Structure 1
Amino acid sequence: MSEPLIFPDRFLWGAATAAHQVEGNNTTSDWWEWETDPAPKAPLAEPSGIACDHFNRYKDDIALLAKLGLNTYRFSVEWARIEPRQGEFDHEALLHYVDMVDTCLKHGVTPVITLQHFTLPAWVTRAGAWTNPGLPAWFARYTRHVMEHLQDRAPYICTINEPGNMITRGYLGTFPTPPFVRNLDAFDAAAAGVNAAHRNAREVIRELAPGVKVGMAHALQDWHANSGGTPALRWARELHEDRFFAETAEDDFVGVQTYTRLDVNAPRILRHVSAALLRSRRLTQALVLPHLHRQAAAAVPVEGAPDDGIRRTQMGYRWAPEAIEATIRRVAHLFSGKEIVITEHGVATDDDADRVEYLRAGDGYRPTYGLVAVDRTTQDRAVKPSAHWYGDVARTNQMPV
């Protein structure tokens, strides 16, 4: 008979949120401007609005998380709330996030903080966002205000969430989000800005709270390619992952976030053609980026998936719970001995039994991620069976057979 999988003592079992997705009324952010624009630059399923009203209900939500048996909560502080206008810092907003951290500690929950989770203050995006040479200094200044208030209360700080996803979407148009640019030169400038902002924030955190661990939370894919698709895979991985791994060697941990497997296949005869195409910035700009944009526009809707015989999630992703193992092993190989934190993982499904299956094996509000359902009309919380299952795993520190 198989033995249960037992985890090390003090293993961190948690759940994660992003401020803009759950807090509600993030009115000074660039995403709020996108959502409320009468003629938005890209379609969206629905505005965030009051969202889950977590900004006001966080004490009950954190208490519920602890009651379930989880011992860690990763959440983001919202730069747009803390510095709604350039150089103007909201003291009450800073104290709000301090109280969120203290509420976690009161319930025996380890707080893991993310400083930037996709959204930026609207004034930052109007000023050029990540391409503005001043942004790394602005981000360091913001980080200093946050850390002066938090001090060493939170043992882990993620400076930036999913830099690869954020920049390829915002500057290559793979899934258009602010600032809605599609240009390789702008992408390079933005990626450099993200890396510089991360370095600056890391220095500030180590100055003010030297015992706190610092890293980025990386969106990683379990990439697969045949011979013809290998050049495209290498190009995509360099843009989406490796460019930001360049900053990881000096970090204290690597955050890993994986949801699916991606296959990059093409006829073998096209291998040399695609390699030559991707070596030319002019041709890549003229031919590849429009192709990526067309692919995004034709993405599988969350209401259904193509009848292609492949099991998929509500997001249209290939069902691949084993993908997280592949990406963790890659990170462990690249950064031998460095601490690895799975900062996000899960599945979008309306069948909660699927969620347990997915967790055991390895976006808008319509794709239903999450362990607790929220009625956005009444704001009532409903604990799903998967939350109880996951809480039992956390409480016993072992995976049942």
Structure 2
Amino acid sequence: MKRFPENFLWGTATSAHQVEGNNINSDVWAEEYSDGSPYADKSGDAVDHYRLYREDIKLMAELGLKVYRFSIEWARIEPEAGYYSKSEIEHYKDVLKVCYDNGIIPMVTMHHFTSPRWLMRFGGWSNPQTADRFAKYCEVVFKELGSLIPYALTMNEVNLPVMLHELFVNFNFKPPVGIEAKTWTAPEWRQSAARSCGAAIDKYFTFHMASDEAAINIIKDAHRKAKEVIKRISPDTKVGLTLALPDVQSIEGGEALADKVWLKYFRQYLDAIKEDDFIGIQNYTREVYGPNGQVPLAEETEVTECGYEYYPEGLAGVIRKVAGELNIPIIVTENGIATQNDERRVEFIKRAVEGVYFCIADGIDVQGYLYWSTFDNFEWTFGYNMHFGVIGVDRLTQKRIVKDSARFLGNLAQNNGLQDYN
């Protein structure tokens, strides 16, 4: 048995919009219902986690999981600027209490891509004042709930807008969030979404669009101000954020380009995160660069439903890169695979976790592994066509279907170790 450190955090992760359902006051809901929307499905009731969270958390505990990472939805807490819903705060208070009642450690994300519709009227993530508005929302939540939150992530994947921009512009991929590749401007359907939010199109600037230097600085400022507020109110809460980090590799002649990409994905955020309590790492695959750019996948390469290369070893690669440049604890806050072949999911988890084990054996301070995702859920513009979950859901009945991968992950948590299969 490959044993992990005592109190290692084993669990799964979700985000509010993807599982709760009926997040009607968010900008993403507006995008789903815009004219010509690129979203494959509308989130609707999602997997009805807003109503079924008690049963869901109990199921996680029964499977043996120890940690549940979920997000508190800003658009629910503050549905209009300056108005904070007491009933929604009480809802999330109960979610936290149900975690404790079932022996589950909660890890809370304060912003997971979605923002309130009203924020778009003020310029969204292009307005420097958004940092203060976000910090105020965090302050309101932590005054009520801070004592129940041991781990907080201010924002999820703050570098994703940069990654999307690089993807669209350099490789001319179809933008899954609906931004035109070459011009990086809002297409017509976004004008419809802006109108739905009561915003002029020049003010409509969602989190996914925040890839220019000014917007990145606003996001960094929002993180710093939110962290300051959280630590002032709840000093014992450990605070960080998450970064989406493919394992950036190179072949001969691609070293300089790979280094430039890593700078954009990771290094440019160091000044904002180097004093955090931990960093959340989120890895799904690798990117390999040559002298002419990203190396395309070979025809025979195994890919996931998302089109990513099946490469669980990428997680250890990223952990080692990050640990070489940042001296704070690491928690794997997302790692997973979209597939309907659950045997390949189990193999993915096994190989990824083994990589984490050897990182720890080499002295790297990795404190947890959270699989994405708890459920097959709403995967943004891909709708319900991606299957990341260790728990399936029949969306006609909302019945939960436990997969073998959920039992495998629960056994890892219960044993705090990985059976040596070699």
Does the pair score TM above 0.5?
Answer: yes
Contact in 1 for aligned 2:162/2:264 (Cα 8 Å): no
Partners in 2 of 1:19 and 1:335 — Cα distance? 29
Instruction: Verify: 1:92 aligned to 2:87, yes or no.
Output: yes
Q: Specify the code of the residue in structure 2 equivalent to 1:45.
A: A
Q: Which residue of 1 aligns with 2:262?
A: 237
Contact in 2 for aligned 1:72/1:109 (Cα 8 Å): yes
Higher RCO (CA 8 Å, separation ≥ 6 residues) = 2
Within-5 A mapping of 1:126-145: 126-145=121-140
Q: Deviation per CA, 1:268-326, whole angstroms, max 9, x where unpaired?
A: xxxxxx9xxxxxxxxxxxxxxxxx9xxxxxxx9xxxxx870111111100111000001
Deviation at 1:186, TM superposition (A): 6.4
Structure 2 residues not aligned, in runs of 5+: 170-174, 186-208, 353-378
Contact in 2 for aligned 1:160/1:216 (Cα 8 Å): yes
Deviation at 1:173, TM superposition (A): 5.1
Partners in 1 of 2:76 and 2:168 — Cα distance? 27
Partners in 2 of 1:238 and 1:318 — Cα distance? 22
SS at match of 1:366: coil
Instruction: Verify: 1:192 aligned to 2:217, yes or no.
Output: yes
Instruction: Verify: 1:317 aligned to 2:308, yes or no.
Output: yes
- How many residue pairs get aligned? The number is 361
- Distance change in 2, residues 1:307/1:328 (3 Å): closer
Deviation at 1:9, TM superposition (A): 1.7
Q: Which residue of 1 aligns with 2:240?
A: 215
Contact in 1 for aligned 2:162/2:210 (Cα 8 Å): no
Q: Which residue of 2 aligns with 1:31?
A: 28
Partners in 2 of 1:33 and 1:169 — Cα distance? 21
Deviation at 1:218, TM superposition (A): 1.0
User: Which residue, 402, 406, 409 being the options, matches 1:383?
Assistant: 402
Instruction: Verify: 1:367 aligned to 2:386, yes or no.
Output: yes
Partners in 2 of 1:241 and 1:209 — Cα distance? 28
Q: Deviation per CA, 1:4-26, whole angstroms, max 9, x where unpaired?
A: 10112221110000111000011
Contact in 1 for aligned 2:125/2:219 (Cα 8 Å): yes
Instruction: Verify: 1:105 aligned to 2:100, yes or no.
Output: yes
- Distance change in 2, residues 1:178/1:252 (3 Å): farther
Identity %: 38
Contact in 2 for aligned 1:256/1:340 (Cα 8 Å): yes
Deviation at 1:88, TM superposition (A): 1.1
Partners in 2 of 1:44 and 1:231 — Cα distance? 36
- Distance change in 2, residues 1:185/1:121 (3 Å): closer
Using the size of structure 1 for normalisation, the TM-score is 0.85
Q: Specify the code of the residue in structure 1 equivalent to 2:309.
A: R
- Distance change in 2, residues 1:98/1:167 (3 Å): farther
SS at match of 1:374: strand
Partners in 2 of 1:203 and 1:328 — Cα distance? 26
Q: Deviation per CA, 1:200-221, whole angstroms, max 9, x where unpaired?
A: 0010011000011000111111
Instruction: Verify: 1:348 aligned to 2:343, yes or no.
Output: no
Deviation at 1:244, TM superposition (A): 1.9
Partners in 1 of 2:179 and 2:301 — Cα distance? 33
User: Which residue, 308, 321, 331 being the options, matches 1:330?
Assistant: 321
Contact in 2 for aligned 1:19/1:75 (Cα 8 Å): yes
SS at match of 1:89: coil
Contact in 2 for aligned 1:347/1:355 (Cα 8 Å): yes
Q: Which residue of 2 aligns with 1:260?
A: 285
Deviation at 1:172, TM superposition (A): 8.1
Contact in 1 for aligned 2:22/2:44 (Cα 8 Å): yes
Instruction: Verify: 1:13 aligned to 2:10, yes or no.
Output: yes
Structure 1 residues not aligned, in runs of 5+: 268-273, 275-291, 293-299, 301-305
Deviation at 1:223, TM superposition (A): 0.5
Q: Which residue of 2 aligns with 1:283?
A: none
Q: Specify the code of the residue in structure 1 equivalent to 2:350.
A: R
Deviation at 1:237, TM superposition (A): 2.4
Deviation at 1:89, TM superposition (A): 0.9
Q: Which residue of 1 aligns with 2:177?
A: 177
Q: Which residue of 2 aligns with 1:75?
A: 70
Q: Deviation per CA, 1:307-363, whole angstroms, max 9, x where unpaired?
A: 701111111001110000011111221123x21111011111101111110000014
- Distance change in 2, residues 1:327/1:172 (3 Å): closer
Partners in 1 of 2:168 and 2:127 — Cα distance? 19
Q: Deviation per CA, 1:246-286, whole angstroms, max 9, x where unpaired?
A: 2111100010100001112235xxxxxx9xxxxxxxxxxxx
Q: Specify the code of the residue in structure 1 equivalent to 2:344.
A: D
Q: Specify the code of the residue in structure 2 equivalent to 1:38.
A: D
Query: Is 44-53 or 103-112 further displaced after alignment?
Result: 44-53
Partners in 2 of 1:179 and 1:94 — Cα distance? 33
Q: Which residue of 2 aligns with 1:295?
A: none
Partners in 2 of 1:129 and 1:185 — Cα distance? 9
Using the size of structure 2 for normalisation, the TM-score is 0.81
Q: Specify the code of the residue in structure 2 equivalent to 1:7.
A: F
User: Which residue, 44, 47, 62 being the options, matches 2:42?
Assistant: 47
Q: Deviation per CA, 1:8-54, whole angstroms, max 9, x where unpaired?
A: 222111000011100001111111011011222xx222111110000
Partners in 2 of 1:91 and 1:38 — Cα distance? 33
Query: Over aligned residue pairs, what C-alpha RMSD do you find?
Result: 2.3
Partners in 2 of 1:246 and 1:153 — Cα distance? 29
SS at match of 2:324: helix
Q: Specify the code of the residue in structure 1 equivalent to 2:177.
A: T
Contact in 1 for aligned 2:257/2:291 (Cα 8 Å): no
Q: Which residue of 2 aligns with 1:284?
A: none
Contact in 1 for aligned 2:210/2:216 (Cα 8 Å): no
Partners in 1 of 2:338 and 2:348 — Cα distance? 10
Contact in 1 for aligned 2:391/2:402 (Cα 8 Å): yes
Deviation at 1:168, TM superposition (A): 4.3
SS at match of 1:151: helix
Contact in 1 for aligned 2:250/2:288 (Cα 8 Å): yes
- Distance change in 2, residues 1:28/1:173 (3 Å): farther
Partners in 2 of 1:187 and 1:130 — Cα distance? 11
Contact in 2 for aligned 1:221/1:327 (Cα 8 Å): yes
SS at match of 2:279: strand
